[in-house]
Structure 1
Amino acid sequence: MARFHPLPVAAVDRLTDDSVALTFAVPPALRAEYRHDPGQHLALRRMVDGSEIRRTYSICSPAPAPGDEGPATLRVGVRLVDGGAFSTYALKEIAVGDVVEVMTPAGRFTLEPAAGLYAAVVGGSGITPVLSIVTTLLTREPEARFCLIRGDRTSASTMFLEEVADLKDRFPQRFQLVTVLSREEQQAGLPTGRLDQDRLARLLPALLPVDRVAGWFLCGPYGLVQGAERALRGLGVRRARIHEEIFHVDDGDTKVAGPPAPAHSTVTARLDGRGGTWSVEDGESLLDAVLRNRPDAPYACKGGVCGTCRAFLVSGEVRMDRNFALEPEETEAGYVLACQSHPATESVELDFDR
């Protein structure tokens, strides 16, 4: 089970005017717990006026090599969100020496290093998990190649500019970088504009052999990821080769329809080897019902994006408001997002341990 531990801040690096990288020091006794796959994320939490705030940020540092005890440091990228309670705190208040509550790594937007050609389409802060994926892959696997297509507003707003340039210097024959700016003309490269579905459908076949890419990694705002997926499917790419992680989902984005809730319902949940059965209040998600009785239930964003609250549906039926975290094969296998799930039968049973 994912757990929080207090970790000291070892470094705060300004990336752009509205983003920073936070580095946490991991003591030797906790390094095994913070072993992570390239592409996973961390949930950070703080208390504000008696209320708990959790936010999820992807790890940008390389994953530890097999056999290592675990990372001595963990680095995440944080971009300021208008009115964001945690991102404002991160950019304006967090300093070296501060202690932050950090959850152990989670997430399935990952790549196990293997030979082959891989590619990513990212927008804005979507570079963060892909930076870990690319660095780990090219460092560990000499027969791997990677094409990164990234979209940003301007060069000044581009996160991890130096880190990506360093990858290009280290792996000039195996790392291809294509940058598209939406609000600034470049002296060389592609014309200004957004990476929408139509543009990607024309651009991708011109950059690389689309049908030979072993895995596509799409990360960023909802619109970019959905447009990139549609472009790839239109080019004949199988859904199994496309991996997605959504950042910045608006309330107006698509919700998944489902059956209405019964008048009275209960949820039975197994968590960390222990189970219980509790009532579900009107309009309440299954996660919130569990949290009222088991505050250690795993969650981070509560927006259907991070997947931290994934649980196996043992029995009953649920309606998920939306799902931006689970792959189709996961939902087909019976997994749901507890934060987005509402009971559609009088009793529902979830297993958080599977």
Structure 2
Amino acid sequence: MFHPLRVSEVEPLTDDAVAVTLAVPPELREAFRHTPGQHIALRRRTGSGEEIRRTYSICAPAGPDAALRVGIRLVEGGEFSTYAFKELAVGDVVEAMEPTGRFVLEPRAGYFAAVVGGSGITPVLSIAATLLIREPTARFCLVRSDRTVASTMFLEEVADLKDRFPDRFQLATVVSREERRTGLPSGRLDRERLTGLLPALLPVADVDGWFLCGPLGLVSGAERALRGLGVERARIHQEIFHVDEAPSAAVAAATPGARAPAHSTLTATLAGRSGTWPVREGESLLETVLRGRADAPYACKGGVCGTCRAFLVQGEVSMDRNFALEPEETDAGYVLACQSHPATAEVELDFDR
């Protein structure tokens, strides 16, 4: 469900990024209480009536009175990011969906680490800050990659963590497009480099949880490096922020299925109510549901954010691509409605599970 929230602050972060804070009224504070690492979907309607939705991670530490603050980077051709960067002002109203997402860390004692690229710092900032504030024995190592120092989001917030928790917060920064006199050499953080870098920074085997966030190339390279270093899959958590196109490895991670039947029907349960609709040729199951239920959850429609996750109750589907669900989720029967097509005459989804 979307709620109209008023913008209380728009703070420039870099030449192409802003932090936007939304005022949450008392009656909605419980609904918008977030777990560190979660995101919200924002919606606006253009002058022509077109609806635009985008998902942005919450960067503020979690807590009863936590601010609802998100980081937004300007994307070339991006309708919502352009609007947020160039037009959004204090006092404007934006529609926001309640926090969701499974790229999270409930604060607990332990040793945690993250590898992030660009705006992938946003959810990890909330994760690290909340952990260090709440758990006096917890430690966190952040390895971040950016194009240049000037393009680095949340420089002050990360520096503040380093100042407040010098013995428990470790930071390693790499820039890819400029030379630095101090720190790590410039260049991309690919699988080969991370395989050598990570063991030099921290005891890889002692880390209780790894959080990888950013562009597909960085996240997939970091995951392969960690697996090569002996890290169990269960300790690796990832969230993709940007996908140019679906490479073969990512397509293979989706759910294959039989050729679509000539005629099929979809039954879907959403917010306690069920409906049945015929699936039109070529449309995704999300598009089928949206024809009958405008309140169906979605944001990116690209298989990245996971907002449209649903449980497959009956039938079979094929997914075009999947960058949001973990293997254990697909094994348990969850699919992305925006990427799913029927592979049997009858399919049933449950969005409430």
Q: What interval of TM-score do these two structures reach, taking the shorter chain for normalisation?
A: over 0.9
Does structure 1 retain, via aligned residues, the 8 Å contact 2:257–2:316? no
Equivalent residue of 2:127, what SS? helix
Equivalent residue of 2:210, what SS? strand
Whole-Å Cα distance in 2 between the matches of residues 25 and 269 of structure 1?
Answer: 34
Report the equivalent of 1:105.
Answer: 99
AA aligned opposite 1:80: L
Report the equivalent of 1:32.
Answer: 30
What does residue range 1-354 of structure 1 map to in structure 2 within 5 Å?
3-48=1-46, 49-64=48-63, 68=64, 71=66, 73-253=67-247, 254-255=250-251, 256=254, 257-354=256-353
TM-score of the aligned structures, taking structure 1 as reference length: 0.97
Whole-Å Cα distance in 2 between the matches of residues 262 and 207 of structure 1?
Answer: 53
Equivalent residue of 1:155, what SS? coil
Map Cα deviations across residues 177-207 of structure 1 (whole Å, 9 max, x no partner): 0000001122211111000000000000111
AA aligned opposite 1:59: I
Whole-Å Cα distance in 2 between the matches of residues 177 and 86 of structure 1?
Answer: 31
Map Cα deviations across residues 209-238 of structure 1 (whole Å, 9 max, x no partner): 111100000000000000000000000101
Whole-Å Cα distance in 1 between the matches of residues 24 and 100 of structure 2?
Answer: 16
Whole-Å Cα distance in 1 between the matches of residues 346 and 122 of structure 2?
Answer: 40
Identity of counterpart residues, as a percentage?
75
Whole-Å Cα distance in 2 between the matches of residues 265 and 309 of structure 1?
Answer: 20
Whole-Å Cα distance in 2 between the matches of residues 12 and 304 of structure 1?
Answer: 29
1:250 positional shift: 1.4
Whole-Å Cα distance in 2 between the matches of residues 220 and 172 of structure 1?
Answer: 25
| Unmatched segments (≥5 aa) in structure 1 | none
Whole-Å Cα distance in 2 between the matches of residues 143 and 227 of structure 1?
Answer: 30
Equivalent residue of 1:186, what SS? coil
Whole-Å Cα distance in 2 between the matches of residues 229 and 209 of structure 1?
Answer: 16
Whole-Å Cα distance in 1 between the matches of residues 70 and 258 of structure 2?
Answer: 39
Equivalent residue of 2:275, what SS? strand
| Unmatched segments (≥5 aa) in structure 2 | none
Cα RMSD (Å): 0.9
More divergent stretch after superposition (204-213 vs 245-254):
245-254
Query: What number of residue pairs does the alignment pair up?
Result: 347
Whole-Å Cα distance in 1 between the matches of residues 143 and 284 of structure 2?
Answer: 37
Whole-Å Cα distance in 2 between the matches of residues 316 and 154 of structure 1?
Answer: 49
AA aligned opposite 1:114: R
Map Cα deviations across residues 25-55 of structure 1 (whole Å, 9 max, x no partner): 1010110100110000010011122110000
Equivalent residue of 2:208, what SS? strand
Equivalent residue of 1:204, what SS? helix
Whole-Å Cα distance in 1 between the matches of residues 150 and 115 of structure 2?
Answer: 19
AA aligned opposite 2:263: H
Map Cα deviations across residues 252-304 of structure 1 (whole Å, 9 max, x no partner): 43323432211110110011111011000001100110010011111111111
1:143 positional shift: 1.0
Whole-Å Cα distance in 2 between the matches of residues 232 and 97 of structure 1?
Answer: 45
